[in-house]
Amino acid sequence: MKTSPFLAALAVSAIGLPIAAHAAPVTVKDDDGNTVTLQKPAQRVISLAPHVTELLFAAGGASRVVGVVSYSDFPEAAKKIPQIGSNRELDLERIMALKPDLIVAWRHGGSERQIEMVRKLGVPMFHSDPQKLEDIPDSVARLGQLMGTDTAARPAADGLRNQLTDLRKRYANRPVVRSFYQVWDKPLYTLSGRHIVSDALRLCGGENIFAKLEVTAPVVGVEAVLQENPEAIFATAEKNYGGVSMWKAYPTLTAVRNDNLFTIDGQLLNRAGPRMIAGTAQLCEKLELARSHRAK
């Protein structure tokens, strides 16, 4: 004898399990504009980038993330999740063994071959690549939809949007500070206007001197930086890394002359996750300090 859907749902409820068997499919657009549809909220999610791990946690998915790549070290609980490789070398067997129902990937220069291999596994995939600061709270909200954690994701996304609104109001129409953003020194890497860091600079009233370069993370020469003569130089703090100190050898550089050599936390600004909003606030404060160093 067939049991009616109503009685079946009532029986499930009576033993304390969630009534989700007949949940409607969930459909969202990823950052490449692709449609991602799940027949039910994702319960086992794999993250293929550190910033993705942070987005998933912010969206209320702490208990649903079953696999991460190396350097997924925030929040603290992420360190305890099994690793399935790096964002360049993935262990497909480990991925399959974890039985994911959603994979969230980051498409970058060295990832195409790996992502295509993962795609062939047939698991739904969401591409995460925030290009603007506003994309970060939007990502939190969409990932919350895919995981069925909207009650946590929506207020988290709204909180990030409010922080961005406050920063925009505070630093609107501030005098422009031409800036060089240094990712690494050997070789000398920077970020172009294609990277979300340039959007953070713009919000603060900064101007990326290499915004027009085509490559997202180009290598530039010292001579090119000297020719552009930035008013401020930013470098991320890393172990065994010279940072901004190298520029003290060029005392005629405006950033050196005005004491505008700044070190900032790269994990806050180089990862397009929720903490980037706090990193942007720090960036804005440094740019405001640079303005105060201008000759009266």
What CATH number does the domain containing 139 carry?
3.40.50.1980
Confidence at residue 86, expressed as pLDDT on a 0 to 100 scale: 85
**Residue 11 is assigned to a structural domain of this protein:** no
Confidence at residue 238, expressed as pLDDT on a 0 to 100 scale: 56
| 217 and 267 housed in the same domain | yes
Percent of the chain predicted with pLDDT > 70: 89
The string of pLDDT tens digits covering residues 240-288 is 456 888 999 999 999 999 999 999 988 899 899 999 999 999 999 999 9
| 106 and 208 housed in the same domain | no
Picking from 271, 140, 254, the residue whose alpha carbon sits closest to that of residue 200 is 271
The string of pLDDT tens digits covering residues 101-148 is 999 999 776 667 888 888 889 999 999 999 999 999 999 999 999 999
The residue whose two tokens read 């172009």 is: 192
| 230 and 281 housed in the same domain | yes
Confidence at residue 51, expressed as pLDDT on a 0 to 100 scale: 96
| 196 and 148 housed in the same domain | no
What confidence tier does 174 reach under pLDDT thresholds 50, 70, 90?
very high
| 136 and 28 housed in the same domain | yes
Confidence at residue 1, expressed as pLDDT on a 0 to 100 scale: 39
Main-chain phi, psi angles of 252, to 5 degrees: -85, -10
Q: Which residue has the higher pLDDT, 11 or 193?
A: 193
130, 156, 182 - which closes a domain: 156
**Residue 6 is assigned to a structural domain of this protein:** no
Confidence at residue 9, expressed as pLDDT on a 0 to 100 scale: 35
Confidence at residue 229, expressed as pLDDT on a 0 to 100 scale: 98
**Residue 7 is assigned to a structural domain of this protein:** no
C-alpha torsion angle, residues 30, 31, 34, 37 (rounded to 10) = 0
**Residue 99 is assigned to a structural domain of this protein:** yes
| 94 and 120 housed in the same domain | yes
Confidence at residue 11, expressed as pLDDT on a 0 to 100 scale: 35
> The dihedral of CA 91, 96, 100, 103: what is its sign?
positive
The string of pLDDT tens digits covering residues 57-69 is 999 999 999 999 9
Cα–Cα distance for residue pair 143/60, rounded to 1 Å? 9
Q: What does the block give as tokens for 79?
A: 């360190």
pLDDT at 235 over 50: yes
| 214 and 274 housed in the same domain | yes
**Residue 4 is assigned to a structural domain of this protein:** no
* 277: three-class secondary structure by DSSP: helix
The answer, yes or no, to whether the previous bond of 75 is cis (omega within 30 of 0) is yes
Confidence at residue 8, expressed as pLDDT on a 0 to 100 scale: 38
- CB crowding 49-76: b at 16 or more within 10 Å, else e: bbbbbbbbbbbbbeebbbbbbebbebee
Confidence at residue 168, expressed as pLDDT on a 0 to 100 scale: 96
Main-chain phi, psi angles of 225, to 5 degrees: -65, -45
Number of structural domains the chain divides into: 2
| 189 and 151 housed in the same domain | no
Helices (H), 129-221: 135-147, 150-171, 196-204
Cα–Cα distance for residue pair 276/270, rounded to 1 Å? 8
Mean pLDDT, the chain, whole residue set: 89
The pLDDT of 39-55, averaged and rounded, is 96
What confidence tier does 15 reach under pLDDT thresholds 50, 70, 90?
very low
| 115 and 33 housed in the same domain | yes
Main-chain phi, psi angles of 46, to 5 degrees: -115, 135
Confidence at residue 270, expressed as pLDDT on a 0 to 100 scale: 86
Show the domain range for 210.
174-292
Strands (E) across 16-154 are located at: 26-29, 35-38, 45-47, 65-67, 102-105, 125-127
| 188 and 119 housed in the same domain | no
Quote the distance between the C-alpha of residue 57 and its chain's center.
12
What residues contact 206, with CB distance under 8 A and at least 6 apart?
A: 176, 177, 178, 179, 232, 283, 287
| 50 and 124 housed in the same domain | yes
Report the predicted TM-score, pTM, of the whole model to 2 decimal places. 0.87
| 25 and 78 housed in the same domain | yes
> Which range has the top average pLDDT, 21-25, 32-36, 237-241?
32-36
